[in-house]
Amino acid sequence: DFKNVFIGGRAMSTSNLLYSAVVLDDDNRAKLIKFVDGIIDISSTWKRIAHHMTMGFKKPVPDHLRNDIGKSVQLNVTELGISNDAIAVKVEGYHSDNKIPHITVAIPKDGKPFNSNLITKWYPVHQITLTGTVMEVKEIYSGQEKENV
């Protein structure tokens, strides 16, 4: 049983690294959802996510960007991607290992955020800027419970 201790945005523990990312705060998450809702109707049965842009799945922040951990960075939304399995926005402005850097906005009730990687239909949109924090997101164990931090 252990908890993460955050020092300058770094999680200090032996827990499992889930991903490194630029994580949106609540205001920027709401801004993104409102922006997309203004363009298309997202079914009320779909789950809104709009949480982060993955930098690396099960990978730490790259060495040359380690000093950015805990810092705010800007992402520019340039396109909207739509499929039957996910809705996402393409973003520019910061490192990502993904072929198409994006933020998953919504998925069907039983869908997987990964499906944003499979979107093939992207549409240019009026550009907006979002702010997020560079982080390493880890899985921690506390008794029998698992939680992401």
Query: What pLDDT digit, counting tens, does each position of 70-86 carry?
Result: 999 999 999 999 999 99
Give CA torsion, residues 109, 120, 24, 20, to 10 deg: 100
In angstroms, rounded to a whole number, what is the distance separating the alpha carbons of residues 61 and 65? Answer: 6
Convert the pLDDT of each residue in 87-116 to its tens digit: 999 999 999 999 999 999 999 999 999 999
Sorting pLDDT into bands at 50, 70 and 90, what band is 123? very high
Please choose, from the candidates 57, 77, 42, 40, the residue with its C-alpha nearest in 3D space to the C-alpha of residue 117. 57
| Residue predicted with more confidence, 38 or 7 | 38
How far is C-alpha 90 from the geometric centre of its chain's CA atoms? 11
The share of the chain scoring above pLDDT 90, in percent, equals 81
The answer to whether 72 touches 124, Cβ cutoff 8 Å, is no
Convert the pLDDT of each residue in 24-71 to its tens digit: 999 999 999 999 999 999 999 999 999 999 999 999 999 999 999 999
Sorting pLDDT into bands at 50, 70 and 90, what band is 8? very low
